[in-house]
Structure 1
Amino acid sequence: MRLRLVPNETRIDFFRYAKVTFGGSLIAMLLSLVLWLTMGLNFGIDFRGGTTIRTESTQAVDVGVYRSALQPLNLGDVTITEVFDPTFGDERNVAMVRIQAQEDQESVSAQTISDVEAALQTVDPSITFPSVESVGPKVSGELIRTAFIAVGAAMILILIYIWLRFEWQFSVGAVAALFHDVIVTIGVFSLLQIRFDLATIAALLTIIGYSINDTVVIFDRVRENLRKYKKMPLRDLLNLSTNETLSRTVMTSGTTLLALLPLLIFGGDVIRGFVFAIFWGVIIGTYSTVYVAKNIVLMLGVKRDWSKPDANQGNQFANVDA
């Protein structure tokens, strides 16, 4: 007896509420942009600038105790991460303490660093500080620009890839869905003021890759059905293709979410933003594949000239290896 989340054959009309779903996506993107411009993002140390202090101790690292010791200093965004390395012995416990740049200061002052070291020594007398590294506002500003350039470059390359593999209508639909995913995700981060750092950028790139993978699977089935059902209306053909791949979509997204859920709940503050971005991205990426990318393709239409002797003529890039 096998568990089936989706019946073998489904006949869901994904375009039945197309105006509602597509309109809702446009509204969500608009609201996300408004939130981004008005509330801004809660940038982490990577983008604000700050200081990283490496600690070593013979006692086990207790992140909660460290955080409680630093709380009276009112340093703002402080991230404490225990460092695990198989080469470390039982007497070598390492942690990284990251402190955001303070107001009107190029970097965290020497006095602030001394206060942090003193506060940690009160809870762990054996603690030492082998290294201190600072990231200034100029470097953090360059990181912001580089991060968004990376996201934009990924979308452009994906647009070119889909264009070569399928047709330009599919390329526009896929990239529109990716823009939808990234902008709405940034809007959620702005609304909830979740820390936005380089790990979040990595999550956004992961979302782009995950979303486009699901989109390509459906588009590949669409291309097969375009040859198989030469006279079927495009709307019915897109519905058929989505229904045929629905089981795969649900199983892939569902198992990914099941793997991410424990990390989201028990992973702690250090990785929660990263995991939340991927968790939300899987949901919004699956939605955009079904309700955004296909709607764009339907609106643009796909030219099918079956009067040619060779049905593949004019589609010479269709069989480019994935």
Structure 2
Amino acid sequence: MRLRLVPAETNYDFFKFAPATFGLSVAAVLVSIVVFFTMGLNYGIDFLGGTTIRTESAQPVDVAVYRAALDPLGLGDVAISEVFDPTFGSDRHVAQVRIQAQPGEDAIAPETILALEAALQTVDPGMTFPSVESVGPKVSGELVRTAVMSILASLTAILFYIWLRFEWQFSVGAVAALFHDVVITVGVFALFQIPFDLTIIAGILTIIGYSINDTVVIFDRLRENLRKFKTMPLRDVMNLSVNETLSRTVMTSGTTLIALIALLVLGGDVIRGFVFAITWGVVIGTYSSVFVAKNIVLYLGVKRDWSKKSATAGTQFADIDA
């Protein structure tokens, strides 16, 4: 007996609420852009430069007491935050102390780090420091540029691949959906001020890969149906294609989310931001594949007679299985 989360044959009308879903997507992108420019991201040490020290203590974290202990060192603005995790025992209290790069210095001197640790141990002599990470301001600036370039390069490569595999209308729809996913993900991180570091960039690139995979599956079925149903309205062919791949979409996304939710709850705070980015990406990527990419392709229109070559379509690789 086979498990089915979706009936074998479905006939949902995914265009029934197209104006509402597409309008919601446009609004979400615009709000995300506004939130990004007004609130900004909570950049991690990778992008700001400086030093992050992780502390563990048997005593409860008191941010005010920690800050008072560090004030005599004259380190400027020091960010102190308690780390919460359901896997921590009642006698394990973790905090993160972030010190931005000091003017004129590429990195905080080891003597300064030792003085900082000694100052914190006046609060709790048994306090330990399981990790210390330092990044210079020059390196952090290069990391920002590299992160932006990696995302743009991946979007450009996908645009070119989809154009070769299908037609330019499919490329525009796929890249628009990916842009939608990336912008809204960044907006969520800005809205909730979730720490944003290099691991989140890795998560965004993973989102791009996952989302385009789901989109290509739908586009492949759409191309097959365009050849099979030459007189059926394009909207109906798209609906049919999404319905035929719906079971695969739900099963793939569902099983992926099971593993990701387990990591999100039990994986610990160190990887929580990365896992959250991918978890959110699976949800928003599945949504955009169904409700964003195909809407744009419908609006732009596609060639229905695949027996004739188009001068504007790079479909010379259309029969390659990839």
Tell me the TM-score range normalised by the shorter chain. 0.7 to 0.9
Deviations 1:8-61 (A, max 9, x none): 00000101111000011000000000000000000011111122669xxxxxxx
Taking structure 2 as the reference length, the TM-score comes to: 0.82
Structure 1 segments unaligned to the other structure (5+ residues):
55-61, 81-96
Matches within 5 A, 1:37-186: 37-51=37-51, 63=56, 65=58, 68=61, 72-74=65-67, 75-76=78-79, 99-101=98-100, 106=105, 107-108=107-108, 110-117=111-118, 119=120, 123-124=125-126, 134-186=134-186
Give the superposition deviation at 1:177: 0.2
In 2, are the aligned partners of 1:264 and 1:276 still within 8 Å (CA)? Answer: yes
In 2, are the aligned partners of 1:47 and 1:140 still within 8 Å (CA)? Answer: yes
Deviations 1:153-179 (A, max 9, x none): 100000001111111111110000000
Give the superposition deviation at 1:64: 5.4
Aligned-pair identity in percent equals 63
- Structure-2 change in CA distance of 1:240 and 1:198 (3 Å): same
1:250 is matched with which residue? 250
In the alignment, the residues of structure 1 paired with residue 45 and residue 129 of structure 2 have an alpha-carbon distance, to the nearest angstrom, of: 23
1:203 is matched with which residue? 203
SS at match of 1:178: helix
In 1, are the aligned partners of 2:227 and 2:305 still within 8 Å (CA)? Answer: no
In 2, are the aligned partners of 1:48 and 1:100 still within 8 Å (CA)? Answer: no
In the alignment, the residues of structure 1 paired with residue 66 and residue 117 of structure 2 have an alpha-carbon distance, to the nearest angstrom, of: 8
In the alignment, the residues of structure 1 paired with residue 222 and residue 6 of structure 2 have an alpha-carbon distance, to the nearest angstrom, of: 20
Q: For this pair of structures, how many residues does the alignment match?
A: 296
In the alignment, the residues of structure 2 paired with residue 164 and residue 117 of structure 1 have an alpha-carbon distance, to the nearest angstrom, of: 61
Give the superposition deviation at 1:72: 3.6
In the alignment, the residues of structure 2 paired with residue 319 and residue 64 of structure 1 have an alpha-carbon distance, to the nearest angstrom, of: 61
In 1, are the aligned partners of 2:200 and 2:277 still within 8 Å (CA)? Answer: yes
1:57 is matched with which residue? none
In the alignment, the residues of structure 2 paired with residue 195 and residue 132 of structure 1 have an alpha-carbon distance, to the nearest angstrom, of: 17
Give the superposition deviation at 1:105: 7.4
- Structure-2 change in CA distance of 1:64 and 1:296 (3 Å): farther
In 1, are the aligned partners of 2:47 and 2:141 still within 8 Å (CA)? Answer: yes
In 1, are the aligned partners of 2:45 and 2:134 still within 8 Å (CA)? Answer: no
Give the superposition deviation at 1:117: 4.6
In the alignment, the residues of structure 1 paired with residue 129 and residue 220 of structure 2 have an alpha-carbon distance, to the nearest angstrom, of: 57
Give the superposition deviation at 1:227: 1.1
In the alignment, the residues of structure 1 paired with residue 168 and residue 80 of structure 2 have an alpha-carbon distance, to the nearest angstrom, of: 45
1:291 is matched with which residue? 291
SS at match of 1:76: strand
Q: Which moved more, 1:247-256 or 1:106-115?
A: 106-115
Structure 2 segments unaligned to the other structure (5+ residues):
68-77, 84-95
- Structure-2 change in CA distance of 1:315 and 1:115 (3 Å): closer
Give the superposition deviation at 1:148: 1.1
Give the superposition deviation at 1:267: 2.0
SS at match of 1:6: coil
In 2, are the aligned partners of 1:31 and 1:187 still within 8 Å (CA)? Answer: yes
Give the superposition deviation at 1:193: 0.4
1:36 is matched with which residue? 36
Letter in structure 2 aligned against 1:271: I
Give the superposition deviation at 1:123: 4.4
SS at match of 1:203: helix
Letter in structure 1 aligned against 2:199: A
In 2, are the aligned partners of 1:70 and 1:120 still within 8 Å (CA)? Answer: no
2:217 is matched with which residue? 217
Give the superposition deviation at 1:134: 3.1
In the alignment, the residues of structure 1 paired with residue 62 and residue 108 of structure 2 have an alpha-carbon distance, to the nearest angstrom, of: 18
SS at match of 2:14: coil
Taking structure 1 as the reference length, the TM-score comes to: 0.82
